[in-house]
Amino acid sequence: MEHLLQSLKIGINEKIFIKDPESSDLGKRIVEESILMIHEMGFESFTFRKLGAKIKSNESSIYRYFENKHKLLLYLASWYWGWLEYQLVFSTNSIPDPKDKLTKAIEIMTRETKEDSAFSHINEVVLNKIVINEYSKSYLTKEVDEENKEGYFVIYKRLINRISNMIKALDSSYPYPSSLSSTIIEGSLHQYFLKEHFSSLTDCNENITPTQYFIDLVFKSLKA
């Protein structure tokens, strides 16, 4: 639990923002409305000018919180992964059996998102959709290595490592724990995307969930 409260409350790398959006009402409105707008119009069409108009604030005021929309996306993604990490650690902490623990972990990482009333200004369901549709764009850039060094992806990496460690705990002989872990996380986003837009490329639908697919995939791969 050590890293946790950190991640959820102030754990987002301070270099991602200029001024902490949690520290003011305007900041929270920026976060709240940007989630809705990015979801509605897509990241490419989203601009700070449009966001300013929507929240009846000034473009230049938004720039005092985030350097640009890319940084805002990094912030939203970090928040999302931190929130998932919180749920992961909270729900698996007390499970002693490694197989049960990993099962629960996969469930949490691949299940449909439900609203969390603990964070009133963030719509987690919509944020999950943004992550599905936009997260890749936050690291598929020429600046990844630099930004990785700055620590902009730590929460995401820590999360994948947690799952990787659970895999190792269950089957220390399995040669690809990190690859399998990253496949679950990234693959889950991808299956949800396919379900929505390329249904012929996935078996996930109303009856089959990504969770079922990944549970099957993982436990057939491991000796357990």
DSSP 129-165: HHHHHHHHHHHSSTTHHHHHHTTTTHHHHHHHHHHHH
Query: Which of residues 8, 26, 194, 217 is near DNA by CB under 7 A?
Result: 26
* CA-based end-to-end distance of the chain: 27
With tokens 């920026």, the residue in question is 30
Q: Which is nearer to DNA, 16 or 166 (CB)?
A: 16
Instruction: Work out whether 220 is an interface residue with DNA (CB under 7 A).
Output: no
Question: Count residues contacting DNA (CB under 7 A)?
Answer: 22
Buried b / exposed e across 51-78, counting CB within 10 Å, b at 16+?
bbeebebeeeebeebbeebbbbbbbbbb
> Of 17-25, 90-98, 112-120, 212-220, which part binds a copy of itself (CB under 8 A)?
212-220
The Cα–Cα gap between 201 and 184 comes to 17
Give the three-class secondary structure for 1: coil
Instruction: Work out whether 190 is an interface residue with a copy of itself (CB under 8 A).
Output: yes
Site map (CB under 7 A) of DNA, residues 50-69, x = contact: x-----xxxxxx-xx--xxx
Binding site for a copy of itself (CB under 8 A): 41-42, 44-45, 133-134, 136-137, 139-142, 144-145, 148, 153, 157, 160-161, 175-183, 186-187, 190-191, 193-194, 197-198, 200-204, 208, 210, 213, 216-217, 220-221
